[in-house]
Amino acid sequence: GSGTVEANGVYRASERLYCDAPVYEHVDRGADFKITREPHTNPKTGATKHGWLLGRSKAPLYGAPTEALAVPSAGWKKFGGEAPVPAVRVHALLADAYFLRADDAKAAGDAAMEQEDWTTACESFTAGVDA
């Protein structure tokens, strides 16, 4: 995840489009956290290029310059957010994101069990079920 802890989590495509791409909203925090494709016009040349921004209340935290219509999984840079930049995983289905969350929690639980850290194991397995 990113260094801006509140920005971490699952984002879902809303019904809105902007710059020919879906607007993604944080599943738990709603429209306060969005991932949007944004235009940028070079003041000297007048050329418009696009990129993706992850922002909080319209303030950019991270950005990735690309003309792609899909959210990029790499190439993110820090703007107003904390380091590190986000690790983005794109899923075609929302259910896939939750399965991945559950798998990650199970792996953390298994690792905690090997260390006989029963509290962490229980918390991890519970997080996997809650995903």
Domain ranges of the chain: 5-90, 95-130
Residues 1, 8: contact at Cβ < 8 Å?
yes
The CA–CA distances, whole Å, from 13 to 4, 17, 70 equal 21, 9, 11
Per residue in 12-54, pLDDT tens?
Answer: 999 999 999 999 999 999 999 999 999 999 999 999 999 999 9
Which value, to the nearest 10 degrees, does the dihedral of the CA atoms of residues 51, 1, 97, 26 take? -60
- Output the pLDDT for position 123: 86
Confidence of residue 131 (pLDDT cuts 50, 70, 90): low
Per residue in 49-91, pLDDT tens?
Answer: 999 999 999 999 999 999 999 999 999 999 999 999 998 888 7
- pTM, to two decimals: 0.73
- Output the pLDDT for position 53: 98
- Output the pLDDT for position 125: 85
